[in-house]
Amino acid sequence: MGAVKEALRRPLGHFTERTLAGLAVVLGAGVGFGVLLVLVRTRWTPLYDVDHGVAAWLNDLVAPHGPLVTVLNALTDLGGRAVIIWLVSVAVVGLLIRRQGRLAVFLIVTGLGALILDPALKTLVDRLRPEVDVPIGSYAGDSFPSGHALGSMVAYGALLLVFLPAMSRRWRKPAIALVATVVFLIGLTRIALGVHFLSDVVGAWLLGAAWLGVTAYAFRLWRLERGRPVPALTEGLEPEAAHDVAPAPDEAHLLPHPRAAVFELVVGWVLVLGALYGFGMFVSYHAGGTFFATLDTDVPRWFAEHRTPGRDDFSYWWSKVGDTHAILLISLVFCPLVLAVWRRWRPVLFVALTMFGELSLFLAAAAAVDRPRPPVGNLDGPMPTSSFPSGHIAATLCVWVAIAVIVFPRTDRWWRWVFVALAVVMPTGVAISRMYRGMHHPTDFMGAIILTALWVGLLYWVVRPNEDLREGNRPSIESEDVHTLDDELAKAARVD
């Protein structure tokens, strides 16, 4: 019995030793936030003077420099709700696919807590945002605490704790330093942009540290109750899950012959641009009296003659499917899912190069050809680029064709045909919408098809995105198990 008791005491003692300092930090952060909250609520004069003095000083320093303001806005977006929700959602879905429901629940609970605490405390404190001489940022709502600072502290910290085991030991300290730097810079931008006081950001950091500490402690307590060893936080929450939380296994070379591949892609890019330039110059300036000229004249006029308010609205929203934000969102959702299911970087590289090549080819060809828009009413008004080729159509074609190329050979389920259909329907709908709105000629659509066919074909030949299938790679979710996949959230909530 003595040996059994000793075995039971050992984890508890180990747990107490490792978490006592952490609990002190959490308690200190909570007390610090409470004190700061009271000082803000009572409008303590020294704090008021410091907050307004720092806000005015930074506004004088930052406002005259436009490029600096642009950089600050880009950095502050890393703590925005859209980026944070995307990061956490993608991580949760990936963890569920990898059968790591407990870690997924940790991220969900931690993230939801931050989403609840931020507006609740803002309403309670009801503090106005700073008023500066030269406003360079405009945000609605109350000021204390900073939602960006709170969200970045909680989200990036929770993600670090979850994925730390997947990193080699030599990279863990740099990763911790990087996350701390990102969180600090996001908070700094909120003050520099004049949308939060110093105490708003400091309070958010204290609250975020306290909440993250509470949820991490609860997770470690769960491990102790189930007889599992409780590691130091520098090891992450679940060291045993290192293989499952790693995005993909290490590969000696992402491509068999990387130098040759780079050379092939550069040469291929130039040749594709040459084909686009040749076709674009012909249909834009030398196709008079041909079928192409008739098509480019009659189709835009026909669409312009059949416009209605309802069709205008419908074409506007379908046209949005091909804009930069929509295409970026699709790519940022699809690529993490590919990593979660197939554990390979090459398909992700294929998609990334597809979109980078499409954008660079489109911008280069548009600048070189410099084709005017159709001579009808342009419903979207002046655009920064010329008409040939259509960037909306090319981007939509490239992203959906690339997705279909990756998904179709990787499953035998019926829904793989859905991606083939999307590769046809989505760009066709965008093309019709763009021509209806008077933004493109039919031959601009043809140019987008040429761009997609040549560039995606080149990438498929060079990158070989499905090479891992020949090597016997299997998905984390087998095709025959898709319809019987357990609800990992429900499973994670059960008591073992």
Alpha-carbon span 247 to 343, nearest angstrom? 6
Report the Cα 274 to chain-centroid distance in Å.
33
Give the pLDDT confidence of 457-492 residue by residue, as tens digits.
999 999 888 887 776 666 655 544 444 444 444 444
How would DSSP label each residue in 372-431? Answer: PPPSS--TT---SS-SSS-HHHHHHHHHHHHHHHHHGGG--STTHHHHHHHHHHHHHHHH
Q: Pick from 388, 380, 368, 393: which is nearest to 443 by CA? A: 388
What pLDDT does 476 receive? 55
Q: Tens digit of pLDDT for each residue in 325-384?
A: 888 889 988 988 888 888 888 899 999 999 999 999 999 999 999 999 998 888 888 888
Give strand ranges (E) for 89-188.
none
Cα–Cα distances (Å) from 21 to 12, 47, 107, 176, 217, in that order, read 15, 29, 23, 18, 12
Q: What is the pTM of this model?
A: 0.78
45: exposed, middle or buried (C-beta count within 10 Å: 0-12, 13-18, 19+)? exposed
Cα 491 → chain centroid: 27
Q: Within the chain, which residues score under 50 in pLDDT? A: 1-18, 479-496
pLDDT at 493: 45
Helix axes 391-407, 442-463, angle to 10 degrees: 40
Q: Report the C-alpha gap between 421 and 230 in whole angstroms.
A: 49
